[in-house]
Amino acid sequence: MTPNPTPAVDEALIRGLVPGVLGALVRRGADFAAAEDAVQDALVEAIRVWPTHPPREPKGWLITVAWRRFLDATRADATRRRREELIAEEPGPGPVSGADDTLWLYFLCAHPSLSPSSAVALTLRAVGGLSTRQIARAYLVPEATMAQRISRAKRTVSGARFDRPGDVATVLRVLYLIFNEGYSGEVDLAAEAIRLTRRLAATIDHPEPAGLLALMLLHHARRAARTTADGGLVPLAEQDRSRWDTELIAEGVGILQAALARDRLGEFQAQAAIAALHADAPSVGETDWVQIVEWYDELVRLTDSPIVRLNRAVAVGEADGPRAGLAALAELDDSLPRYAAVAAHLHERDGDLATAVRLYAEAARKATNLAERDHLTRRAARLNNRRGR
Amino acid sequence: MAKYLLLKHYRGAPAPVNDVPMEKWTPEEISAHMRYMSDFAARLEKTGEFVDAQALAPEGMFVRYDGEGRPPVTDGPFPETKDLIAGWMVIDVDSRERALELAGELSAAPGAGGEPIHEWLEVRPFLTAPPTVTE
């Protein structure tokens, strides 16, 4: 009674074609919002049809089907509005500049007029080719809510003009958000962020997308070591480094070195450099903290971010001892997120366990995510038990 | 991108400005209140910020484990002094400021005399998934 196994369609491969297909439709005169809907319809059709009728030319197939869907929708729309005369004749397939389409799409979906959550959702759908349902599940909101978020975002950017090249930093921030704040679910958002950043880095001649890609790869390499079997958080210092993915590390380091060689430092290259120094240390004791502090100094110069200064204090504590770390910490605002956690760690290293326990407990109460709260609580409990003996 | 719980209390929150129990409103005022609430939820769905809304019955009890092979022990209904949750709305917004703004709007739902209740809502952030990049 087993049905004939149908070969599954490589979804990632299909989704990789999305920017080119969408760009082709828009260049034929379709408006972005309608074209994007039509491309989604074509993707659904491809996943249904291709297992039994694989196309000879996948991208051409998608453009043809999406264009028909677009015309059908436009006709229905136009009939309603009595604007049949606006329907375009179906043009022949013209030459497609894939690189321009891809870049245009990244910039459109990260447009500064969009809120971060809207830009993330639109990027995942229009550039990544994920369905609204997949994105809704990834971010744990109802599908209807995500559909509205995406259609609002499309309306917001529909009039956007790109006469001048945009600021690539806006695109990088969106990709970083997808990577860093992704929830776990059926869609691997970290892998998706890497796929989208890899493509951007291959399309645009700029070292920062490469820096971001390297940063993602170097952190993704630690994924298996980052959590215990029951989902607990394993801090960098305690990770089993034999479980780090050496291939990803090698790729990340290679990409970073090529980017740094171009001598246009940016924040993602500097962050990746720090991750690379961690990746380079066979054990936590062999970490080159002095160099890491230097990179934090660069990051402070580039971003002037209080969070960066906080992380710098941790590195200073390792490079020059916990007292030096505490001195660096003392210059910062104690209302910063994770301030108490950093202070607790430095006091523990300094041997002041009573203060460390108190601060770990305080940090646990202030933690904004469950895994970190549990980790800090365990930390406090461990020190309490050690002191009790 | 952060989720917040907006909690509405039957009891336990500070007294609202327009503090008249619902059974003393006119039927039209009750309808207007309900309409405001459903319009608010519908508007949040349109802005892509709505996650969930539920109302709870006031009747409830405490339950606890009472040892191997024994039925759970129950206690309650709650004494009058206890905090009592009436319902909630979960929103997914870009900032804490936006969460507070929306809670303020929800608190303006009309009550007696068609005037805003100024009800106190409890706003609680969800704990998130841990970020990947921490150093």
Q: Do A314 and B135 touch (CB under 8 A)?
A: yes
Res. A166 pLDDT band, cuts 50 70 90: confident
Joined tokens for residue A12? 């990632």
Residues of B with CB below 8 A from A145's CB? 44-45, 48-51, 92
Q: What is the pLDDT of residues B59-72, one digit of tens each?
A: 888 899 999 999 99
pLDDT classification of A76: cutoffs 50, 70, 90: confident
Q: Say whether B92 and A141 touch across the interface (CB within 8 A).
A: yes
Nearest CA to A30 among A107, A86, A99?
A86
pLDDT of A389:
55
Residues of B in contact with A215 (CB under 8 A): 133
Q: Are the Cβ atoms of B129 and A142 closer than 8 angstroms?
A: no
Give me the pLDDT at residue A388, please.
Answer: 65
Please give the average per-residue pLDDT across A144-164, as a whole number: 86
Instruction: Please tell us whether the domain made up of B2-125 is placed in CATH 3.30.70.1060.
Output: yes
Strand-pair category, B84-93 with B2-11? antiparallel
Whether B48 and A121 lie within 8 Å, measured CB to CB: yes
Give the pLDDT of residue A184. 64
* Structural contact between residues B90 and B3, judged by C-beta atoms closer than 8 angstroms: yes
What pLDDT does residue B76 have? 79
Q: Residue B132 is nearest to which of A117, A145, A180, comparing CB atoms? A: A180
pLDDT at B130: 87
A98-157+167-201 to CATH, choices 3.90.105.10, 3.40.50.970, 1.10.10.10, 3.40.109.10: 1.10.10.10
Q: Give the torsion sign (CA, A213, A21, A174, A231).
A: negative
Mean pLDDT across A270-293: 97
Asked whether the beta carbons of residue A145 and residue B3 sit closer than 8 angstroms, the reply is no
Cis peptide before B77 (omega within 30 of 0): yes
A-B interface: how many C-beta pairs under 8 angstroms? Answer: 92
Taking 60 as the threshold, does the pLDDT of residue A177 lie above it? yes
pLDDT in tens, A351-385: 999 999 999 999 999 999 999 999 999 999 999 98
Q: Which of A100-109, A117-126, B30-39 has the lowest mean pLDDT?
A: A100-109
The predicted structure's pLDDT at residue A9: 78
Q: What is the pLDDT of residue A279?
A: 96
**What percent of chain A has pLDDT above 90?**
78
Give A373's contacts in chain B (Cβ within 8 Å).
Answer: 127
ipTM: 0.88
Q: How far is A371 from chain B (nearest CA, A)?
A: 6
Higher pLDDT, A356 or B81: A356
pLDDT greater than 90 at residue A336: yes
Question: For residue B5, what pLDDT is reported?
Answer: 98
Mean pLDDT score of chain A: 90
Interface of A with B (CB under 8 A): 115-118, 120-121, 139-142, 144-146, 148-150, 152, 177, 179-184, 190, 215, 219-220, 226, 233, 236, 271, 274-275, 278, 311, 314, 367-373
Tell me which residue of B113, B96, B94 sits closest to B104, measured CA to CA.
Answer: B96
Q: What is the pLDDT of residue A86?
A: 43
- The whole-number pLDDT of residue A164 equals 58
The predicted-structure confidence for B35-61, as pLDDT tens digits, reads as follows 999 999 999 999 999 999 999 988 888
Mean pLDDT, range B77-85, rounded to an integer: 74
